[in-house]
Amino acid sequence: MQVLRQSMTSAKVKIDIKIMAVLKRKDNALRLAESTSLSNRDIIFDDRGVAGGGDAWYNAKRCWLFPLEAGTTHRLVLQDDIIVCNDFTDYVLKAVEQHPKAIWSFYNGGWIKNEFKTKNTPYCKINGCRTGAQALLIPVEHIQKMIDFTDNFLGSDYKHDDQRVGFYSLCNGINVMCCIPSLSDHIGFDSCIPHHNNKSRVSRTFNKDIKGENWDSKEINSTPFMTNNFWLPKNFSRTDLIKDMIKNASEKIKKQKT
CA distances from 13 to 40, 42, 74, 189, 244 (A): 23, 19, 7, 34, 36
pLDDT at 191 over 70: no
Distance of CA 228 to the CA centre of its chain: 13
Average predicted confidence (pLDDT) for the chain: 90
| Structure confidence by residue, pLDDT tens digits, 32-41 | 999 999 999 9
The full set of domain ranges for the chain reads: 7-257
pLDDT at 113 over 70: yes
pLDDT at 107 over 50: yes
Cα angle vertex 179, ends 106, 142, to 5°? 50
| Structure confidence by residue, pLDDT tens digits, 26-59 | 999 999 999 999 999 999 999 998 888 889 999 9
Q: Which residues of 44-66 are buried (b: 16+ CB within 10 A; e: fewer)?
A: bbbeeeeebbebbbbbbbbbbee
pLDDT value at residue 8: 84
- Asked if residues 185 and 178 have their Cβ atoms less than 8 Å apart, the reply is no
- Asked if residues 39 and 18 have their Cβ atoms less than 8 Å apart, the reply is no
Q: 103-105 and 135-139: which strand pairing?
A: antiparallel
Least confident of 83-97, 109-123, 132-146, 225-239: 225-239
Q: 123-125 and 103-105: which strand pairing?
A: unpaired
Least confident of 5-14, 30-39, 91-100, 214-223: 5-14
May I ask the CATH class of domain 7-257? alpha beta
Cα angle vertex 129, ends 7, 123, to 5°? 60
pLDDT value at residue 197: 45
pLDDT value at residue 218: 95
In the predicted model, what is the mean pLDDT of residues 90-107?
96
pLDDT at 5 over 50: yes
CA distances from 222 to 9, 108, 118, 128 (A): 28, 14, 8, 11
* Percent of all residues in the chain with a pLDDT value above 90, rounded to a whole number: 75
